[in-house]
Structure 1
């Protein structure tokens, strides 16, 4: 329990039984007071492990997430759209760099994180393993996928680990511009020709299932939520984030005249919670574990990029003196 009592209520989480009880109590008291944990502070190994897992996966999601939109840069309708999408993709890659830096403060090198990604050992968001067939798919990602990301990130920016929170503050500021860009793209499709409206509706139909998966499995089966929320690594549960997203964006989708491919979607007036058809969680597990429509393709692109950039990294890490001819 926080602030006194039996701190080893936490010991039900695997690994905590080996931690120093006094240090663990002090650590949890700091979190309860709202203090930030910094890299040189004492922390339980499980806290560090869960943070590395969470921040690393977030970083991977940013860099892989740039791929489905990046394929549309050369095909975006009009020069201004091309410029805007190029800037957005560049931002996403920059977000990955911020997050890798935050994860490195916990002792795992960026090189090891990238290796784990391209070898399929590390996970990233399920939703980026689906193909963006049309420009409308890119519009969906820019508006609604980024909206879902902001829901998660704004909550976690109030968390307990300082470097991650500071990275999220910067990321959320930039994501707010991405959200406006995506909303503008969708409005353009909604107010365009019948063919444009049809394309946008088809994109919503394709992406709604993965979007419901985006926030993670239900709280009742999520294996990490309890400990992450206890230590304020995660500030809202998967179901809470999913409900907040539905609260904010279902009315906006309906306002634009589009439908959502779930006949059971409605808000319960008593509980104030959304009711919906349960997503196919078996599909979610398959995609997360590497068997989605584009998993192999996404990782192949990253492997090629890693190989092509190898000479640059080697040049940067080679001592300059090796190439300097001494003066006579």
Structure 2
């Protein structure tokens, strides 16, 4: 029998029913899925809200760096490709925010509240989407390596215990594979191009490398004071730790990077044969914390664009709503 108190099962200051908690844990341990209207402990619900809302908002904010390159793509073919990718990312965001909305319902909140939280600085989005996209090569790196990292992270939750999120991820991961192939096509064209194009690609990779290492989050809770990965593992929302995911990314992509004659900006990098893991220079985790607090290179500009879009399209929300929209 699970001890509910030991596992932090408290809601509104009161201990919840231990029998319900035991049944809940036995259900997810047996591989069954929790649905939106099922009983769930408060920390499970709140962990899902934070995870899924951050994922959904990141999909929406993640469309902005590539959106900047839609009018500047080098060919009509590339323009059509990146436009389709931006459209997909926005669709992923809408899908995930609907999943989060079901979890928010008991608190009397919805998708509109999540967007307001983003604009107020109370809801974070992924570190990579605060970064600059200086050249066309950055669009390739986002598609190939950022989306590649996202696939590794999201497939880690393809069997998540929360059914609505798990089903949404099935569709999202399938589409992200095409996004990664889109990015790889850009990378290959540049890698096989002129010396100027190869140099542009190498410079983009150098710029993005620290952000890519930060993508999966710190190895331990001590770095940020958060124990989210322990909670998500306990509740079978995810399987692997941040560092295990980062190692999987390095295993998959470093050989590909090197095969193109590219390098990464880390002279300490090597593969430890005894430990079967990559040893690398840790990114600046203090910088990571500043970035996700909206102090990154393009944080303010991306949020400004999101706010303008939110205000400009208020009339659409009012037209569709049964009651006037106040925000």
The verdict on a shared fold, with TM-score over 0.5 as the criterion, is yes
How do residues 252-263 of structure 1 correspond to structure 2 at under 5 angstroms? 252-263=256-267
Instruction: Name 1:325's counterpart in structure 2.
Output: none
The higher radius of gyration belongs to 1
Structure 1 residues 230-269: aligned runs within 5 Å: 230-269=234-273
Aligned to 2:288: 284
Does 1:212 find its partner at 2:213? yes
Aligned ranges for residues 81-96 of structure 1 at < 5 Å? 81-96=78-93
- How many residue pairs were aligned? 316
Give the corresponding residue for 1:63. Answer: 60
Q: 1:317 is matched with which residue?
A: 321
Structure 2's unaligned 5+ residue stretches are none
RMSD: 1.7
Aligned-residue offset at 1:38: 0.2
Looking at structure 1, the residues matched to 12 and 229 of structure 2 have their Cα atoms a distance apart, in angstroms, of: 16
Distance 1:283 1:13, change over 3 A: farther
The change in CA–CA distance for 1:196 and 1:166 in structure 2 (over 3 A counts) is same
Partner of 2:279: 275
The answer to whether the Cα contact below 8 Å between 2:9 and 2:42 also exists between their aligned partners in 1 is: no
- Measured in 1, the distance between the counterparts of 2:29 and 2:69 equals 46
Deviates more, 1:229-238 or 1:48-57: 229-238
Quote the residue 1:42 is aligned against: 39
Superposed counterparts of 1:157-236, under 5 Å: 157-221=158-222, 222-236=226-240
Offset, 1:86: 0.2
Q: Structure 1-normalised TM-score?
A: 0.93
Shift of 1:220: 4.4
State the distance in 1 between where 2:85 and 2:37 align.
34
**What's the counterpart of residue 77 of structure 2?**
80
Residue 11 of structure 1 deviates from its aligned partner by 3.1
In structure 2, relative to structure 1, the CA distance for the partners of 1:14 and 1:240 (3 Å cut) is farther
Normalising to structure 2: TM-score of the pair?
Answer: 0.93
Q: Secondary structure at the match of 2:148?
A: helix
Cα–Cα, structure 1 residues 45 and 245, in superposed 2: closer, same or farther, change >3 Å? same
8 Å CA contact retained: 2:58, 2:126: yes
* Alignment gaps of 5+ in structure 1: 320-328
Return the match for 2:303 from 299, 304, 324: 299
Question: 2:312 is matched with which residue: 308, 314, 319?
Answer: 308
